[in-house]
Amino acid sequence: MPHFTVVPVRDRAQSGYDGLEGINSVDHGDGGPPDHQDTVSSDGLGNHKENSPFLNSPDEKKKNDFYDRNLALFEEELDIRPKVSSLLSRLVSYTNITQGAKEHEEEESTEASRRKTPKSPNMGTLMGVYLPCLQNIFGVILFLRLTWIVGVAGIMQSLLIVIMCCTCTMLTAISMSAIATNGVVPAGGAYFMISRSLGPEFGGAVGLCFYLGTTFASAMYILGAIEIFLKYLVPQAAIFHAVDHHGTDSAVLNNMRVYGTICLSLMAVVVFVGVKYVNKLASLFLACVIISIVSIYAGAIKSVSHPPEFPICMLGNRTLVRDRFDVCAKTITTGNITAPSQLWDMFCLPGNMSSAQCDDYFLQNNVTEIQGIPGLASGILRDNMWGNYLQKGEILEKEGLASVGSHGTMENFGMYVSADIATSFTLLVGIFFPSATGIMAGSNRSGDLRDAQKSIPIGTILAITTTTLVYLSSVILFGACVEGVVLRDKFGDAVRNNLVVGTLSWPSPWVIVIGSFFSTVGAGLQTLTGAPRLLQAIAKDNIIPFLRVFGHGKTNGEPTWALLLTGLIAELGILIASLDMVAPILSMFFLMCYLFVNLACAVQTLLRTPNWRPRFRYYHWTLSFLGMSMCLALMFISSWYYAIVAMGIAGMIYKYIEYQGAEKEWGDGIRGLSLSAARYALLRLEVGPPHTKNWRPQLLVLSKLDEDLHIKYPRLLTFASQLKAGKGLTIVGSVIHGNFLESYGELQAAEQTVKNMMDIERVKGFCQVVVATKVREGIVHLIQSCGLGGMKHNTVMMGWPYGWRQSEDPRAWKTFINTVRCTTAAHLALMVPKNVSFYPSNHERFTDGNIDVWWIVHDGGMLMLLPFLLKQHKVWRRCRMRIFTVAQMDDNSIQMKKDLATFLYQLRIEAEVEVVEMHDSDISAYTYERTLMMEQRSQMLRQMRLSGAEKQREVTHTQKCHQDGHVWNSYFRPFSSQAQLVKDRHLLVRMGSLYSDEEEDTLESPLPGNVQMTWTKKKSEAERRNTNNAPENFRELMSLKPDQSNVRRMHTAVKLNEVIVNRSHDARLVLLNMPGPPRDTDGDENYMEFLEVLTEGLERVLLVRGGGREVITIYS
């Protein structure tokens, strides 16, 4: 054990723990005093806002000791972080709210009791975990069905059933103990453990399954209580009676439905009025269970010397219903007179005994009486060792008794004890498993425990061990003490309608009957109390939107609406009216819950998450996987169709939460599993580039934000979603102009805005927003650094710089061209949707029309692949694909068309093929004039910007003379704007290169308050000459002759545009090769004009530029 030494420190300003916001309890909807300040608040959407113990609120009043001399070095951190003493004080006072009704009892008490300080949890392992688990595990199956299971399956197979079910729950308890001791488990029990370990989707699905299982368990307990009431306590209370033996089943079921509904209503009223009474009676119900079990053992021990007298009447080897007659004999001899008995009258018609017409089987077989409870020393164990499965309606027969094989008449069928259902090993597994459930009772009470992380594992495992030993010993005792036909008699018809297990008990069968009745009623009340709180905990987490209403209740937190829904679902189980049919249903839901508890433990163990540090050490992932496998096997063994239905329900809930539910981040194991899988996949992708067959456009969408940080052209995202159809990688990137240290909040707001727009446009991908001092550099950073490993973009999509002609600021189109150059340098494909506002939304449908591809130069197959991908989306699905290619004078257009058709056939792409011939022609006057206007416009804009700069420039010169030359040092401040000052400076230094790249960089960079400029005399004279030569510059502009290379490019653009508009003016979309930018940056403005001319008159154009690799192949 570590040793600590406390060293006193002088000049301490203040000692003791400081009060800061501490760790508060997690409220999952189980109520709690409203004035309890240690609860987690909620924003109404299920997003808990916990007061963290690790950070202080910014507006909290600063404590004086934060700034004492000892901690002066850390006074900045202490503004937002607590001292260790404050943290520890809150950790010690941490409490949590439990599932159950204790908090509701406190709510129903007086105002004075509300104001009392909550008592610290003080329950130990025995009272807090062990006994509650015993009470929940022992139930109706032990008293009503275990003897029948032993009789039908035999001792060996019954032991196998018990061992299978109890081993499954023991392995689950080990996994649950590891999870429960890995931190505090608040309200919700198993739901909380699974949801926080496997995520909201699994948690919600399994939580609802657990809720349905608990609800059907209440129905099963109620049906068991009604069976005891109508069969053994007050048989006269039956409302419906069978006219003959054919209507017995329907009469019994109708009685169960009527009384079950009445009992359910009364229990729901009790739970609604006062839960505290249910809790106070819990100890009484537990006492009934323990007394009943002890009486069974006492009766078994007593049967060694004095077995109880329960004779069974046998006709041949058939078992007779004992309450139909008084004497087990055919005749009664009174003195010298022999008279027919009641049994004779049942099988024979009235008349003289010698001439009476009787049932053949009755006449040919003798009536004998055997002992129903031979006792522990009788050796009956050997006869009950193996199973005796029955079909529905089959009469119970005892081997070894003489019998003449006549079937007899069906009119007397009601006199025999027969099987009410067909039995099999799998059916018995499903019926018995509910008697092994209830292991979560301890984890649900963790808030009441003095040391939950010690008590939960010990108490739960001891409880399962105890119940397993009781079940195993009970199987052996029943098989060793009770006659086989009595064991197979489910309702005790052969022993005068006594409860079969009651015939073995001591001192009286009524001990078991009354004890089992109260224990089943108590168990029904407990489940009817716990199920609504579980539903309320799920509803308050807000992961399933349509359950939100069930998170509300009475003012004291009582889940009224959840109780109403629980009652309605339990009524469905009551209407089934058969305990044997309800038990397998709840077995499915409990097994699914246990399966995911094991899965949660295994996933956490294998992932080795840093937070996985359970105090319970006796677990291993192999045990968890074994438990999970056993749960899955038991589900399909007991009822394969119920298993499929239960898994289908869980799957639908999972998908509903995934698509409609609120997103939660609980640090769950599935997220860790996803991270591990992603890491493995990324490392695999690093092996090499993807094959051409696997190539698809992994998009980086460069979106522009407006002043309000909204995406300026959202249709860009729409088109991206249509192109991707949810497949591959999509990254939406944007750049914010500014300083990162000052714009971090703006960055977060922009990211959230982009993510919201991505959700609206159904873009499945990621968002990346960067802050940069220059927008152009920010875009370059995105192109270089987006993505991770093998999951990097290979295609860039960006919008067209609209209005570039009208703007005096050339930065927009310069940034556009610079991005084109960067994508080319990075060997990335490029897509530029023009007129993107006219592109269809995801709700539109094109019922006809064409997607035209103009294949001018080979780009690796991008132009072929993109229309095919677009046609996968419902918007473009009905469009036809047409491919145009251009033939020159020396090309064979007919052969080109055949080759292109063959190529498309091998690519498995359906499209019409057309070859357009472009004859050599002289350059038209229109082309010449268009080129001249373009160059004159460029030159005129330069001069206009120069003259504007000259008019606004005001400079104060301070002249100094030096021996080596004349130098003027000018100091001036900006007048109208810093940008104008920079224009002036560059105008003086570089007359021929307005708005060069260096100038743009300076425009985007901050300037000092004073700028010093040094002119030489030569530069000053050149500036004066430029000022005086404005008219000459205008005359030069009018006499300008266009550059021949620009004329040729304009000629190509005009001719291609004429052909494209002529053929594709009505196309839904036109895909076109995008020409590359000029090598010389001086022609950038002309390049923009060429692109405008090329795409004039077209409504929707997608300019495409390949990335330098093949993206489509003819091979499989």
pLDDT band, very low/low/confident/very high, at 726 (cuts 50, 70, 90) = low
DSSP states along 556-623? T---HHHHHHHHHHHHHHHHH--HHHHHHHHHHHHHHHHHHHHHHHHHHHHHT-TT---S-----HHH
pLDDT in tens, 251-265: 888 999 999 999 999
Taking only the tens place, the pLDDT of each residue in 188-210 is 566 777 777 777 888 888 888 88
Secondary structure of residue 976 in the 3-state scheme: coil
Q: Which range has highest mean pLDDT (113-117, 158-162, 945-949)? A: 158-162
pLDDT reported for residue 1115: 67
Average pLDDT over all residues of the chain: 77
pLDDT of the residue at 110: 44
Please state which of the ranges 111-115, 450-454, 698-702 shows the lowest mean pLDDT: 111-115
Prior bond of 532 cis (ω within 30°): no
Give the Cα separation of 1034 and 1031 in Å (integer).
5
What is the pLDDT at residue 240?
86
Q: Which residues contact 147 (CB under 8 A, 6 or more apart)?
A: 478, 482, 486, 487, 500, 501
CB 136 within 8 A of CB 464: no
Least confidently predicted of 18-27, 232-241, 292-301, 517-526:
18-27
State what percent of residues in the chain have pLDDT above 90. 23
pLDDT of residue 257: 93
Cβ atoms of 789 and 672 closer than 8 Å: no
End-to-end CA distance of the chain: 68
Residue 545 has what pLDDT?
A: 81
User: Are residues 437 and 137 in contact, defined by beta-carbon separation less than 8 angstroms?
Assistant: yes
CB 205 within 8 A of CB 651: yes
Is the distance from CB of 101 to CB of 278 less than 8 angstroms?
A: yes
In SS3 terms, 191-241 reads as: HHHHHHHHCHHHHHHHHHHHHHHHHHHHHHHHHHHHHHHHHHHCHHHCCCC
Query: Is 1055 or 632 the better-scoring residue by pLDDT?
Result: 632
What is the per-residue pLDDT across 645-681, written as a single tens digit (0 to 9) for each?
988 888 888 888 877 765 666 665 566 677 777 777 7
- Band the pLDDT of 946: cuts 50, 70, 90: low
- 3 state SS of 300: helix
Alpha-carbon dihedral of residues 234, 238, 241, 247, nearest 10 degrees?
Answer: -90
pLDDT tens digits for range 998-1051:
344 434 444 444 444 444 555 455 555 554 554 555 555 555 566 666 777 777
For the chain, give percent helix, strand, coil, nearest 5: 55, 10, 35
The fraction of the chain above a pLDDT of 70, given in percent, is 72
What pLDDT sits at residue 1107? Answer: 81
Taking 50 as the threshold, does the pLDDT of residue 37 lie above it?
A: no
Radius of gyration of the chain (CA): 44
Query: Residue 219: what pLDDT?
Result: 93
Q: Report whether pLDDT(97) > 80.
A: no
- Residue 48 has what pLDDT? 43
Task: Assess whether pLDDT exceeds 50 at residue 424.
Answer: yes
Amino acid identity for residue 74 in this structure? F
Are 103 and 65 within 8 A, CB to CB?
no
More confident residue, 618 or 247: 618
Question: Residues 915, 921, 923, 924: is their CA dihedral positive or negative?
Answer: negative
> Global pTM?
0.67
- What is the mean pLDDT of the segment spanning 372-392? 90
As given in the structure block, the two tokens for residue 1051 are 């000629």
